[in-house]
A = this chain, B = another copy of it.
Amino acid sequence: MDLIKEKFLKLGAEYAPGQEGRQKTNEIDVPFEKIPGRPVDFSHGDVDAFQPIPGSLDAFVEGVHLGGKQAYTEYRGGMDIREKLAEKLADFTNTSIDPDQHVILTPGTQGALFLAMGSTVARGDKVAIVEPDYFANRKLVEFFDGEVVPVQLDYYKTDTSAGLELTQLEDAFQSGVKLFLFSNPNNPTGVIYSWDEIQEIAGLAEQYGATVIVDQLYSRQIFEGRTYTHLCAENRIDRENVITIMGPSKTESLSGYRLGVAFGSAKMINRMEKLQAIVSLRAGGYNQAVLKTWFSEPAGWMEERIKAHQAIRDDLVAKIRAAEGFQVRATEAGSYLFPRIPELGISINEFVKALRLQAGVTVTPGTEFGPQFGDSFRINFSQDHQAAVEAMERVIQVVEAYRNASIK
């Protein structure tokens, strides 16, 4: 059992978003007064501040009333749901999607990501992942005994592209990488890959015969002045080598229903279904019915949501940029910001714990997104606008307090 012990030592979840309640914060002796204010949990969006798509609960209840037919769908999801969804996703991405062959419904986008990785990564396989990127990407490669080949995202270099180091990506492919996994918009920075970058990624993957998994979880929430390029619609890459992942957990606030979707390569979708048969059978049967509301939101609902988030972003970015020693690139899509903070007398994990105890503010340490990001943290600013701004003020105060102090 030594191999398994080793595996789980690497697979930490203590600092993962949402797990803060399991941290042993009583070990920390905070040397400052508590800063009062309404607590804000920036580790995920606040679905009370930004409510689920109207009608989502009604769709669930209708699913329950359909009975056995909806409870026991095929493992890849009910055909009627897949049909409607394939049409909407094809419209959204400007591709064609066969609901029978190209789509699988999963328990959340996390479910889709796990199945996609489990269907492509075997022991010893080299997998290119971006740094920084979603915290689970690295863990998934390690869980499946693959080898992580990091590719840097120099997101402070420019604001006209994401900043991917394309020569590093080509080096990775040359070294034998057959799978590239990345999120677009990037999690945690909220930057969008440019048309040029997507062309290059598609071209390189095709040249080296690699598969690409793109996590597009936040690709509907694009801020003013930005454009988005879907890799799956590019002609430079064989579509049988691309899996795209999406879901209604973020912008649409449906996380409590655990719904995701993967679409693309028929061969990979087929494998993912085989794997789902032993992982969780299917996305919750009744839950699947909620997908009927996705991409069918009331007129103006999405525009309003984007506008509200852009306004929060603007206020937070202004606050952060005004703080001494802070740096941040403005979010282009989605609800994440990934500020860099000045050097402190404590580690980022200690800072995160102290911030929660002392100021009632929960953030995710940068090291969850790559080992070198000990000077950064991520926030999901899908929160009550005023509460978010006030919480950021407290963050800045706590940073200031720890610039020259340490804790026991």
Contact = CB atoms under 8 A, between A and B. Distances in A.
A74 B122 contact: no
A4 B255 contact: no
Given A107-B280, A284-B287, A4 B120 contact: yes
A256 B64 contact: yes
A274 B122 contact: no
Interface in A42-69: 44, 46-48, 57, 60-61, 63-64, 67-68
Given A21-B74, A285-B255, A12 B274 contact: yes
Contacts of A75: 13, 16, 18-19
A369 interface: no
B18 A136 contact: no
Interface in A78-94: 79
A310 interface: no
Interface string A228-269: 000000000000000000000000000111100000000000
Interface string A116-141: 00011111110000000000100110
B1 A255 contact: no
Nearest to A179: B1
Contacts of A136: 277-278
A22 interface: yes
A108 interface: yes
A351 interface: no
A278 B121 contact: no
Contacts of A106: 280
Interface in A89-113: 106-108, 110-111
A70 B122 CA distance: 36
B74 A18 contact: yes
Interface in A20-35: 21-22
A122 B123 CA distance: 11
Nearest to A287: B284
A180 interface: no
27 contacts: A1-B120, A1-B125, A2-B122, A3-B122, A3-B123, A3-B125, A4-B119, A7-B122, A8-B274, A11-B278, A13-B274, A16-B277, A18-B72, A18-B74, A19-B277, A47-B68, A48-B67, A57-B61, A60-B64, A106-B280, A110-B280, A111-B280, A136-B277, A255-B285, A256-B285, A257-B286, A258-B283
Given A8-B119, A143-B275, A256-B286, 18 more contacts: A3-B124, A3-B125, A4-B119, A4-B121, A4-B122, A8-B271, A8-B275, A19-B277, A21-B74, A21-B79, A47-B67, A47-B71, A107-B258, A139-B278, A256-B284, A256-B285, A257-B286, A258-B285
